[in-house]
Amino acid sequence: MALKLYIYPHPVLRKKSKKIEVIDKRIEDLARQMLDLMYKHDGIGLAAPQVGESIRLIVLDIGKGPIALANPEIVKKKGVSLISEGCLSLPGLTVLVKRAFFVKVKGIDVFSKQEKEYKASGLFAHDFQHEIDHLNGVLIIDYLPWWKRIKYFLSLKKKSNLL
């Protein structure tokens, strides 16, 4: 079955994701499908909640090859970086987001089932932080002032003829 991309304000995007206890064929297949969906939409990252799964799984590729991590966590942060971010679940929205310039992330590689550690800076670091935010129910819209959040929400309602 093909995955569906969940769009804001769907409630699944706000749920805190659960730890993955066992990486089995279902998780591997989900990661592959998430990568396919991410590439189809010209994205650089995708988190399981964006496809309706409240589990701690992310995929990303900023041109260095695909990564699929279960239970990712940031173990070190350093510096400050401002990058304009978009999100497949918030179409048409870009937000200037302040994040750490450098992060060290660890998690379980879904395909090798080995613990991996990544040192990332710049866009790569932003991508990790963005996807891990999704696992905690945090979206880029949360980095906007309240009145811009309302404006975006109203524009979505207008586009869907709900107003």
Catalytically annotated residues: 131
Q: What does DSSP assign to residue 48?
A: G
Query: 38 Cβ partners below 8 Å, 6+ apart?
Result: 44, 45, 46, 59, 60, 61, 88
Amino acid (one-letter) located at 30: L
Distance CA 147, CA 107 (A): 36
Q: How many residues does the chain have?
A: 163
Distance CA 61, CA 65 (A): 6
DSSP letters for 52-115: T--BSEEEE-SSS--EEEEEEEEEEEES-EEEEEE-TTSTT-EEEEEE-SEEEEEEEETTT--E
